[in-house]
Structure 1
Amino acid sequence: MVRVISQETYDEVVKENIEEFSMSPEEAIKDAVEQFNAQGVDLTNIIKDLALNDSTDDIISSIKKLSEYSTAAECKHMTIILNTLMSELEKDIARRVFAGKNGAYTTLLQVLTNFKDKPIIVQTALKTITILMTGNPDLLDEAGVNLQKSLLEAPNNDSQTLHLVLKWIRECCIKHEMNRQQIFNAGILNNLKLELSKKDANMSIVKEVCLVLRALTLDDDIRHEYGKAHEHATTIARQILHTLTKLLSIYKSNEVIVGEIMLTLASLIVRNEFCQDFEDAKGIQFILDVFTNFPEVEKINWQALKLLKSLAGNDDVKAHIITSGIAPLIIYAISRLRSSEAVVTAGLACISALTLKSPSNAGVFYDCGAVSIIIDAIKAYLKCANVIQQASWAVRNMSVRNTYESKEFIAYGIEELFNQALRIHGQNLEDDIKAALRDLGLKVNLKEQWTGKGCVLTHE
Structure 2
Amino acid sequence: MCEVKAITQATFDAVVQENIDDFDMEPNEALEDAINQFLSQGISLGMIIKEVGMNAEHEVITLTKSLEKYKSTDLDSTEKDALKKTLLSLTEKFQSDLAKRYQASKIADAHVVLFELCKLNADDLDLLNDCMQTLSALVNGQPDLVSKEATAFFLSIIKVLDSSNEEIALLVLKILKFSCLKHEQNRVNFVKEDGIAIVLSTAEKFKDRPQVVKEACGVLRSLTLDDDVRVQFGKAHDHTKLIVTEHKGMERLFDFMREHASDPAISSELCLTMSKLMVRSEFCQQLVDMGGLDVILGMIDKHLERQNLVRHCITLIKSISGNDDVKVAVVKSGGAELLIQVLGKHNSNAQICESCLAAITTLSLRNPSHCDVIMAKNTAPLMVQAMKLHSEHAGVQKQACMAIRNLVARTRQHSTAFIENGADELIRKARLLHKEVLEDESKAALRDLEVHVELKERWKGENVGITY
Do both proteins adopt the same fold according to a TM-score greater than 0.5, normalized to the shorter chain?
yes
**Residue matched to 1:190:** 197
Quick one: distance in 2 between partners of 1:440 and 1:54?
A: 70
Conserved 8 A contact 1:196-1:243: no
Give the C-alpha shift of residue 376 in structure 1. 0.8
Give the C-alpha shift of residue 103 in structure 1. 2.1
**Residue matched to 2:422:** 413
Quick one: distance in 2 between partners of 1:133 and 1:155?
A: 22
Conserved 8 A contact 2:364-2:407: yes
Quick one: distance in 2 between partners of 1:225 and 1:321?
A: 36
AA matched with 1:83: L
Quick one: distance in 2 between partners of 1:453 and 1:364?
A: 46
With over 3 angstroms needed to count, the CA separation of the structure-2 counterparts of 1:96 and 1:405, relative to structure 1, is same
Quick one: distance in 2 between partners of 1:55 and 1:346?
A: 52
Conserved 8 A contact 2:47-2:98: yes
Identity %: 33
Which stretch of structure 1 is more off in the superposition, 77-86 or 148-157? 148-157
With over 3 angstroms needed to count, the CA separation of the structure-2 counterparts of 1:134 and 1:54, relative to structure 1, is farther
Give the C-alpha shift of residue 272 in structure 1. 0.4
User: Which stretches in structure 2 are left out of the alignment for 5+ residues?
Assistant: none
**Residue matched to 2:304:** 295
- Local SS of the residue matching 1:90: helix
Conserved 8 A contact 2:223-2:239: yes
Work out which of the residue numbers 180, 192, 195 in structure 2 matches 1:173. 180
AA matched with 1:403: R
Give the C-alpha shift of residue 71 in structure 1. 2.2
**Residue matched to 2:110:** 104
Quick one: distance in 2 between partners of 1:299 and 1:33?
A: 40
Deviation string, structure 1 residues 266-304 (Cα, Å, up to 9, x no partner): 011110010011000011111111121011111111011
Quick one: distance in 2 between partners of 1:247 and 1:258?
A: 8
Quick one: distance in 2 between partners of 1:235 and 1:312?
A: 22
Give the C-alpha shift of residue 195 in structure 1. 2.2
Give the C-alpha shift of residue 408 in structure 1. 1.4
With over 3 angstroms needed to count, the CA separation of the structure-2 counterparts of 1:320 and 1:10, relative to structure 1, is same
Quick one: distance in 1 between partners of 2:183 and 2:89?
A: 28
- TM-score with structure 2 length normalisation? 0.92
Work out which of the residue numbers 89, 100, 112 in structure 2 matches 1:95. 100
Give the C-alpha shift of residue 176 in structure 1. 2.0
- Local SS of the residue matching 1:328: helix
Quick one: distance in 2 between partners of 1:38 and 1:354?
A: 52
Which stretch of structure 1 is more off in the superposition, 67-76 or 294-303? 67-76
**Residue matched to 1:144:** 150
AA matched with 1:133: V
**Residue matched to 1:122:** 128
User: Which stretches in structure 1 are left out of the alignment for 5+ residues?
Assistant: none
Quick one: distance in 2 between partners of 1:54 and 1:357?
A: 70
Give the C-alpha shift of residue 448 in structure 1. 2.4
Quick one: distance in 1 between partners of 2:162 and 2:357?
A: 48
Quick one: distance in 1 between partners of 2:162 and 2:206?
A: 17
Give the C-alpha shift of residue 242 in structure 1. 0.7
Deviation string, structure 1 residues 149-208 (Cα, Å, up to 9, x no partner): 111123446111111110111111222222222222221011112123348542221111
With over 3 angstroms needed to count, the CA separation of the structure-2 counterparts of 1:428 and 1:153, relative to structure 1, is closer
Quick one: distance in 2 between partners of 1:124 and 1:156?
A: 19
Work out which of the residue numbers 368, 371, 379 in structure 2 matches 1:362. 371
Matching of residue 246 in structure 1 with residue 246 in structure 2: no
RMSD: 2.0
Matching of residue 37 in structure 1 with residue 43 in structure 2: no
Give the C-alpha shift of residue 11 in structure 1. 1.8
- TM-score with structure 1 length normalisation? 0.94
With over 3 angstroms needed to count, the CA separation of the structure-2 counterparts of 1:24 and 1:236, relative to structure 1, is same
Quick one: distance in 1 between partners of 2:90 and 2:205?
A: 36
Conserved 8 A contact 1:59-1:99: yes
Q: How many residues are treated as equivalent by the alignment?
A: 455
Conserved 8 A contact 1:237-1:269: no
Conserved 8 A contact 2:184-2:234: yes
With over 3 angstroms needed to count, the CA separation of the structure-2 counterparts of 1:420 and 1:307, relative to structure 1, is same
